[in-house]
A and B are shown apart, each in its own frame.
Chain A
């Protein structure tokens, strides 16, 4: 496109400088603070963080919920994506639009809606009492269940979109061919669909896992202070304790876990192939 590389590099330079100064440099400064205690390089921040029971609880809870949301999204996502790609063009567009629609609504509004839905007088408790499953409303808000539901609703569309994109490239005859050759539906999924759509699963899994891990609004609103996650703990350390070392440690952990999840999913996908 360009007569020489210099022209291309010159055009990319403003964006590169912008990114370096306003993104990479602050991130580097933030992360470096996590390795400094009293002006000296040290791992003490990490050791102190790891030694506290609350931090351990929050770390494992964050990992567990993000993992559960990603796995559940994958299960629901495959079912939805498979149904959608088998619809005719017009209906596929409509359903796809409905899936994308929540992404256009503010996460704050969506999460606040769950406060009403999951509350003592919300439709979930109305249904539970109406079906005779309980005499009194059960407490769902401010529990891990509420955070799980909120995160799943928030990130499921990303998984479905990734899987639809991947399944659209699936050769149309392979499923029919494998069935004709005697494969059960479980075998069709594990031996045919899953290997051929692994890129979509890796992409969707990474988006959902890292999104769930780093989400702040949903855990803060639906979990409150009783269900602290790494993001809400980070906010607490900065805004209450003015503890930027711990905040840097948590930020580093979140970044490492996000990259780690992507690498792990790619490795798993590579093993299968």
Chain B
């Protein structure tokens, strides 16, 4: 498959060589692409007088592309989850960032300044994860309520294959008093309740539809999807469980030896600047990692915003995710979906 990716990007390499020197190739999430172009990519092109070439896809595709073209990087800069960034750093595909080239770096929350160590990444957005539920039908006080009899047949959990899955297991693990990074007992508990769980969803849009048609009345979800529920006619609420909320961080990375470092640093600094982070937050595209960003209460309601909330997030260590996810998946496949 990696050879296939190399083959498929060969054409891109040929055309890339013919491009003007001031071209920055970035690999980003496809979410809100038009809005991101308007808020970030387009204005940056005007400032730098360069072309920003955008590559999108899911995380695995984008990571595989970076790996397949390691000898001759096509991508200059990429954004991804912190644990995906750590996986690339461990494969020696990233270069440490010279943070002196990113003046906005000092404005970031402390946890976003060097999230995976070695300055291999810098955080640009946070998200909280908690439980959205129908406040007229059920009360949620703990993550353990997800497996309660009250929610039998009316609850959905995120699939372990997505970002939210391990986070949910992490909080269930705490709530059930297991505190074991193998999640063995917790996955066993989920497996014992598998018939009570409507589905293990993959996308927030999928969950939103199920909750809006009253198939599901409670499920864990990232705050970035809260706007799908907050404006609905049904009474949805955002839980504040006694174990707290979990969450994650998306980061920027620079591919190793891409030869376009100066432009990539300029772009990263631009994206992390207070001005752009504010614009992105106000468009509800990402929750800011820049501590100087100020938004209205209405906007903040839909974001993971503010030092108090961000510092309270019970995040899962990126290294723990990489080291354990294959075992989690095996265990999950055996005990939950088999």
Contact B1 A225 (CB under 8 A): no
Please provide the chain A residues from 199 to 235 with a CB less than 8 Å away from any CB of chain B in the complex.
Answer: 220-221, 224-226, 228
Q: Are B159 and A242 in contact (CB under 8 A)?
A: no
- B215→A226 contact, CB < 8 A: no
Q: Is A131 an interface residue (CB 8 A)?
A: no
Cβ of B334 < 8 Å from any Cβ of A? yes
In the complex, what distance in Å separates the CA atom of A34 from the CA atom of B231?
A: 48
CA separation between A53 and B335, bound complex, in Å? 10
Q: How far is the CA of A221 from the CA of B1 in the complex (A)?
A: 26
A187–B202 Cα distance when bound, in Å, is 50
Stretch at the interface among B18-26, B192-200, B287-295: B192-200
A168 CB to closest chain B CB, in angstroms? 42
> How far is A205 from B97 in the complex, measured between Cα atoms in Å?
58
For the complex, is B338 an interface residue (Cβ under 8 Å from A)?
A: yes
A120 neighbours in B (Cβ, 8 Å): 213-215
Is A141 on the interface with B (CB-CB < 8 A)? Answer: yes
Q: Are A225 and B215 in contact (CB under 8 A)?
A: no
Which residues of chain B are within 8 angstroms of A52 by Cβ–Cβ distance? 333
Q: Give complex CA distance A94, B4 in Å.
A: 46
CA A244 to CA B68, docked complex, whole Å: 13
Contact A241 B4 (CB under 8 A): no
Beta-carbon contact of B199 and A224 below 8 Å: yes
Q: Is A119 an interface residue (CB 8 A)?
A: yes
- Given A115-B213, A225-B159, A57 contacting B338 (CB threshold 8 A): yes
CB-based contact A225/B199 at 8 Å: yes
Bound-state CA distance A193–B334 (Å) is 47
Q: Which A residue's beta carbon lies closest to that of B58?
A: A239
The yes or no answer to B326 lying at the interface (CB within 8 A) is yes
A26 on the interface (CB 8 Å rule)?
Answer: yes
* Interface membership of chain A positions 108-146, coded 1 if the CB is closer than 8 angstroms to chain B and 0 otherwise: 000010011001111000000000000000010110000
Q: Is the CB of A119 within 8 A of B60?
A: no
Asked if A54 lies at the interface with its beta carbon under 8 angstroms from chain B, I say: yes
Hey, what's the 0/1 contact readout for B1-40 against A, CB within 8 Å counting as 1?
Answer: 1111001000000000000000000000000000000000
Interface contacts (Cβ under 8 Å), in number, total: 80
A202 to B60, CA, bound (A): 39
Tell me, rounded to whole Å, the shortest Cβ–Cβ distance linking B200 to chain A. 4
With CB as the reference atom, state the residue of chain B lying closest to A242: B60
Whether a CB of chain B sits under 8 angstroms from the CB of A178 is no
Q: Does B329 contact A (CB under 8 A)?
A: yes
Task: Assess whether B161 is interfacial by the CB under 8 Å rule.
Answer: yes
Collect the chain A residues with CB atoms within 8 Å of residue B213's CB: 115-116, 119-122
Given contacts A225-B161, A244-B2, contact A54 B338 (CB under 8 A): yes
Q: Is the CB of B64 within 8 A of A226?
A: no
B201 within 8 A of A: yes
CA A26 – CA B1 in complex, angstroms? Answer: 9
A240 at the interface (CB under 8 A from B): yes
Is A226 within 8 A of B337, CB to CB? yes
Report the nearest A residue to B158, measured CB to CB. Answer: A225
On chain B, the residues within 8 Å of A226 by CB distance are 194, 197, 199-200, 337
A239 close to B209 (CB less than 8 A): no
B212-240 CB mask vs A (1 if < 8 Å, else 0) is 01110000000000000000000000000
> Which residues of B are at the interface with A, using a C-beta cutoff of 8 A?
1-4, 7, 58, 60-61, 63-64, 153, 159, 161, 194, 197-202, 206, 209-210, 213-215, 325-326, 329, 333-334, 337-338
Add 7 more A-B contacts to A30-B4, A121-B215, A122-B213 (CB < 8 A): A119-B213, A120-B213, A121-B214, A224-B159, A225-B200, A225-B202, A225-B337
A residues neighboring B (CB under 8 Å): 26, 29-30, 33, 52-54, 57, 112, 115-116, 119-122, 139, 141-142, 220-221, 224-226, 228, 236, 238-242, 244, 247-248
